[in-house]
A and B are shown apart, each in its own frame.
Chain A
Amino acid sequence: AQKITQTQPGMFVQEKEAVTLDCTYDTSDQSYGLFWYKQPSSGEMIFLIYQGSYDEQNATEGRYSLNFQKARKSANLVISASQLGDSAMYFCAMSPTGGFKTIFGAGTRLFVKA
């Protein structure tokens, strides 16, 4: 069975510092994709970054990077130079390639302090 685990219910980070949000996963699929989403208090789900299981390089999108360690089944999100607007809920998710069904972790609430 597939499973996503986010062990940090809440995280605090000082503005302008970097923060790592943890995500581990379990799957028997050989090919899969990993996603990170941001959910502000408005409730919308904002796509941040994607990593394919066969991608050799870690994905990066602006201030977001994904630290993908396949052998350890981890896909941590790194946010550099945190901003006050980064305060939100962050969800890690996984989808089997071609399967189109995505499962989500429990989420981590990030608080950025001024």
Chain B
Amino acid sequence: SAVISQKPSRDICQRGTSLTIQCQVDSQVTMMFWYRQQPGQSLTLIATANQGSEATYESGFVIDKFPISRPNLTFSTLTVSNMSPEDSSIYLCSTQLSTDTQYFGPGTRLTVL
């Protein structure tokens, strides 16, 4: 199994500012994923982060708004830039050790005022 931690667990931010969310995995993994869960909604994949290459973004998500870093095989960051109230969500990082196991971090609950 994989243990995934995220920082911060929650934050309240002002409109127009940026927040960087950190994700740490207790083992080396090839791919890490970032998801967004808007209030009352399901999870939507933002991007896939591979070590040593640029992240791959899903339709509707752009690098300028959600820059991602992946400096090594156990760590990744997601930045939510120039925030607006519509960015209020739970942000979750995830990794898949094999085809039948996908683990999630505890999530970062973001509120933008």
Residues of A within 8 A of B (CB): 33, 35, 37, 42-45, 47, 50, 52, 91, 95, 97-98, 100-107
Contact = CB atoms under 8 A, between A and B. Distances in A.
B80 interface: no
Nearest to A101: B45
Interface residues of B, number: 23
B51 to A, nearest CB: 14
A106 to B, nearest CB: 5
Contact of B92 (A42, A45, A50, A107): A45
Contacts of B104: 37, 44-45, 47
A47 B102 contact: yes
Contact of B102 (A42, A52, A98, A102): A102
Contact of A52 (B45, B48, B100, B103): B100
A42 to B, nearest CB: 8
Interface of B: 31, 33, 37, 41-45, 48, 90, 92, 94, 96, 99-107, 109
Nearest to B30: A100
Contacts of A45: 43, 92, 94, 104, 107
A104 B106 contact: no
7 closest Cβ pairs, A-B complex: A45-B104, A43-B107, A50-B100, A104-B43, A104-B42, A44-B106, A43-B90
B31 A100 contact: yes
A5 B72 CA distance: 36
Contacts of B99: 33, 52, 95, 97-98, 100
